[in-house]
Amino acid sequence: MKNYESRLLTTAAIYSLLSSSFTSDPKTIQKSVNSLREIFDKLGMTEESNLADNVINIIKSDENASAEYVRLFEMGAAPPCETAYTCAENMEHRTYELADIAGFYRAFNVKQSTGTPDHIKAELEFMALIMVKELLAHENSNTEAAEICRDARRKFYREHLSRWVGEWVKKVRENARKPLYIILTELVSRIVSKHELVT
């Protein structure tokens, strides 16, 4: 069980740092990605560590590296929100999906600070939080609570987070004029696609 708990804690840290790195502030990006690189190095995740290095080098060499955040993510060139991809053909379904996501958050007393519940920052942070809750349940020998957290985490990953990140990365590649967010979203995609980290 200790290996499982250690993996859970590490994965929660990765998801939380990915969430905090998704911003227009280069200092915050650099700080979060530096921490990610340290974790990747310890885990022997060479490709992810190389991507993190690329992000850091871009920020150091281009003071305007994050300048297109607003154009890409707030003005709609590459929306960082699940329903922009999963409900593109049926916008009526969007209300249901948003309610479903919000229901997960409510069930675990997650208060969303800003944005829509399907924003990448919110979904990554929720995954991190639910892993920590599961870990605490294990530490308190509360098997039932741990199982509830694990089942909810797997369901949220399967029904929400894993379904759209790939399409989002493609949209960023198509619309970005600078490399920072192409590489950063590729890093998010690589972590999310490693389902063994969360299942």
Residues 35, 15: Cα–Cα separation, whole Å: 12
Domains of the chain (ranges; CATH) run 2-197 (1.10.3480.10)
Question: Over the stretch 22-44, which tens digit does the pLDDT of each residue have?
Answer: 999 999 999 999 999 999 999 99
For all residues of the chain together, what is the average pLDDT? 93
Does the pLDDT at position 129 exceed 80? Answer: yes
- The string of DSSP codes covering 130-159 is HHHHHHHHHHTT-HHHHHHHHHHHHHHIII
Instruction: Say if residues 131 and 11 touch (Cβ distance below 8 Å).
Output: yes
Residue 197, pLDDT score: 65
Summarize the confidence of residues 74-78 as an average pLDDT: 94
pLDDT of 47 over the 80 cut: yes
Under 8 Å CB-to-CB from 135, ≥6 apart: which residues?
Answer: 5, 8, 9, 12
Alpha carbons 6 and 109: distance in angstroms, whole number: 24
Neighbouring residues of 146: CB distance < 8 A, sequence distance ≥ 6: 134, 137, 138
Q: Using an 8 Å Cβ cutoff, are 24 and 31 in contact? A: no
Q: Does the structure show a pLDDT above 70 at 63?
A: yes
pLDDT at 111: 85
Reference 165, options 102, 99, 85; nearest CA is: 85
Query: What mean pLDDT comes out for the span 119-145?
Result: 96
Assign 88 a pLDDT band (cuts: 50, 70, 90). Answer: confident
